[in-house]
């Protein structure tokens, strides 16, 4: 039987849906709907004056959920372009007017530096907290309350509040433990089973081991957006013309649930009705509510409205000289929200991926929530680094409006309720509602397809 799949949203979540549809249902008809003029969503690479700048995600971190993403990279032929990151010995948190080191490599030097910056008692308290993580049975889904019990309030405020605010733009006391710490949504990941289902080609395996065996992170020669571009090319090269329909500058307007039809509208105000057997929704919850506006799924719409989003502003700031202090040897730093700063943090891109930038140059990514002017950001950088930051050669500013989900306590239960209510309607909520971490995103997209296939 030849199924008709409609995928709304051509970010990595939607493209992963389409890729695994092609793998599991080679003869299926795939219609990909995207409101912008490009695929890739938040994965956006800009090339300016020999600088390769990532406006969204900057790299892919290695971890325990890698296989579906590696399988995809294998099949689309992107692996010859692996570029590995240089692992730095430290990251930093900004606390009480200065940068405090956090070891990324455990050795005598990094531990000694941590004690110098933070004190021996703090190290001992963190070591004592580790067993509590393994045996704590607290039922609360409030991450802050959980960490208070594990670390105590002082360490939670200094470390956890800094890290999670930098990652999610929210206080730990407003975040879900299940989503942001325990990652219950990834509990089904089974490496042994995946190794049977997703088998690497020999050439890919050889290059993967050679290039990535010791790597902590990686990206691609021409930038991270090579990934969505190459997925799209793979779909085009491996599909009959009648089995792949890519509609850019087009948005989902309305879902006729009983008829299994999606009404779309493009920038020219042209309306179409597209029939589907399965509909994948990889767009923000507010857009899904709009598409269901005329349906009778009132409880689902109310649950979707509970999902809120945060905004963030990123700046890629580039200099044609080295501006970081010689003793700065970190991936970057995050700033505690109680430190009265505009910045959320900084990532030292040119330290992590020096080959992606001109020799002797510096490239940093700075994150803020408030829309402050560039001079204020440069002043804060100077203060944090203890130097006078020179005027940069290039600043690329990007507003990410309502792009980051607020994973509030109870979020997972709310989302599972939505998914259960839509299950019999053949509507699947995209993996982008669970995570923004690239390997997790690809796995969850695969998992949703595999459940249909079984």
Express as a percent the part of the chain with pLDDT over 90. 91
Measure the CA–CA gap between 78 and 207, rounded to whole angstroms: 11
Q: What average pLDDT does range 250-271 have in this prediction?
A: 97
Measure the CA–CA gap between 76 and 224, rounded to whole angstroms: 14
Helix (H, G, I), strand (E, B) or coil at 103: strand
Residues 363-391: tens digit of each pLDDT: 999 999 999 999 999 999 999 999 999 99
**Helical spans, DSSP H, in 25-135:** 67-76, 108-118, 120-135
Mean pLDDT score of the chain, rounded to an integer?
Answer: 95
pLDDT category at 454 given cuts 50, 70, 90 is low
Residues 27-41: tens digit of each pLDDT: 999 999 999 999 999
Pick from 113-127, 276-290, 395-409: least confident: 113-127
pTM: 0.95
Q: Which two tokens stand for residue 423?
A: 């299950």
pLDDT at 1 over 70: no
pLDDT at 135 over 80: no
Measure the CA–CA gap between 404 and 426, rounded to whole angstroms: 26
Q: Which two tokens stand for residue 100?
A: 């405090």
pLDDT at 134 over 80: no
Q: Are 45 and 223 in contact (CB under 8 A)?
A: yes
Measure the CA–CA gap between 299 and 185, rounded to whole angstroms: 22
Q: What average pLDDT does range 420-435 have in this prediction?
A: 97
Measure the CA–CA gap between 279 and 427, rounded to whole angstroms: 5
Q: Which two tokens stand for residue 416?
A: 């599972």
Q: What average pLDDT does range 167-175 have in this prediction?
A: 95
Q: What average pLDDT does range 255-259 have in this prediction?
A: 97
Residue with tokens 């050439």: 203
Residues 146-165: tens digit of each pLDDT: 999 999 999 999 999 999 99
Query: pLDDT: is 106 or 266 the higher one?
Result: 266
* Neighbouring residues of 173: CB distance < 8 A, sequence distance ≥ 6: 142, 143, 144, 145
Helix (H, G, I), strand (E, B) or coil at 446: helix
Name the strands in the sheet holding 261-266, side by side, starting at the edge strand that comes first in the sequence. Answer: 250-256, 261-266, 271-275
The structural domains of the chain, ordered by start, are: 4-44+60-78+217-307+406-453 (3.50.50.60)
Q: Using alpha carbons, select from 245, 277, 206 the residue that is nearest to residue 449.
A: 277
Q: Are 280 and 14 in contact (CB under 8 A)?
A: yes
Residues 46-85: tens digit of each pLDDT: 999 899 999 999 999 999 999 999 999 999 999 999 999 9
Q: Which two tokens stand for residue 185?
A: 């949504």
Q: Using alpha carbons, select from 44, 88, 42, 58 the residue that is nearest to residue 328.
A: 88
Cα of 309 vs its chain's centroid, Å: 14
pLDDT at 140 over 80: yes
Residues 205-240: tens digit of each pLDDT: 999 999 999 899 999 999 999 999 999 999 999 999
Residues 285-305: tens digit of each pLDDT: 999 999 999 999 999 999 999
């Amino acid at each position: 039987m030849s199924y008709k799949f409609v995928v709304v949203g051509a970010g990595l979540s939607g493209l992963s849906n389409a890729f695994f549809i092609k793998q599991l249902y080679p003869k299926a008809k795939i219609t990909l709907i995207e409101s912008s003029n490009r695929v890739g969503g938040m994965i956006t690479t800009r090339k300016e004056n020999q600088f390769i700048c990532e406006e969204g995600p900057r790299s892919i971190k290695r971890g325990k959920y890698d296989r579906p993403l590696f399988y995809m990279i294998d099949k689309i032929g992107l692996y010859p372009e692996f570029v590995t990151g240089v692992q730095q010995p430290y990251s930093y948190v900004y606390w009480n007017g200065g940068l405090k080191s956090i070891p990324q490599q455990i050795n005598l030097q990094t531990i000694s530096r941590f004690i110098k910056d933070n004190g021996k008692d703090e190290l001992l308290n963190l070591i004592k907290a580790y067993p509590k993580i393994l045996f704590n049975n607290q039922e609360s889904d409030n991450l802050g309350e959980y960490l208070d019990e594990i670390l105590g309030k002082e360490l939670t405020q200094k470390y956890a509040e800094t890290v999670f605010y930098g990652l999610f733009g929210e206080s730990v006391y407003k975040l879900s433990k299940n989503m942001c710490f325990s990652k219950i949504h990834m509990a089904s990941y089974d490496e042994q089973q995946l190794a049977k289902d997703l088998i690497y080609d020999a050439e890919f395996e050889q290059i993967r081991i050679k290039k990535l065996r010791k790597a902590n992170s990686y990206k691609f020669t021409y930038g991270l957006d090579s990934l969505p571009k190459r997925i799209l090319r793979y779909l085009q090269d491996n599909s009959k013309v009648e089995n792949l329909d890519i509609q850019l500058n087009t948005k989902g307007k309305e879902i006729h649930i009983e008829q299994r039809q999606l009404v779309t509208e493009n920038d020219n105000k042209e309306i179409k009705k597209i029939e589907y057997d399965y509909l994948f929704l990889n767009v923000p919850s507010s857009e899904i509510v709009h598409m269901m506006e005329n349906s009778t799924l009132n409880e689902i719409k109310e649950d979707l409205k509970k999902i809120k989003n945060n905004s963030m502003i990123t700046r890629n700031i580039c200099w044609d000289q080295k501006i970081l202090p010689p003793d700065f040897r970190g991936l970057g730093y995050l700033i505690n929200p109680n430190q009265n700063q505009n910045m959320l943090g900084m990532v030292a891109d040119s330290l992590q991926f020096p080959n992606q930038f001109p020799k002797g140059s510096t490239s940093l990514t700075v994150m803020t929530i408030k829309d402050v002017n560039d001079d204020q950001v440069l002043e804060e950088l100077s203060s944090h680094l203890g130097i006078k930051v020179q005027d940069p050669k290039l600043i690329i500013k990007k507003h990410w409006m309502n792009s980051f989900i607020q994973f509030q306590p109870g979020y997972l239960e709310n989302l599972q309720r939505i998914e259960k209510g839509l299950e019999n309607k053949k509507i699947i909520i995209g993996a982008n509602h669970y995570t923004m971490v690239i390997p997790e995103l690809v796995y969850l997209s695969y998992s949703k397809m595999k459940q249909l296939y079984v």
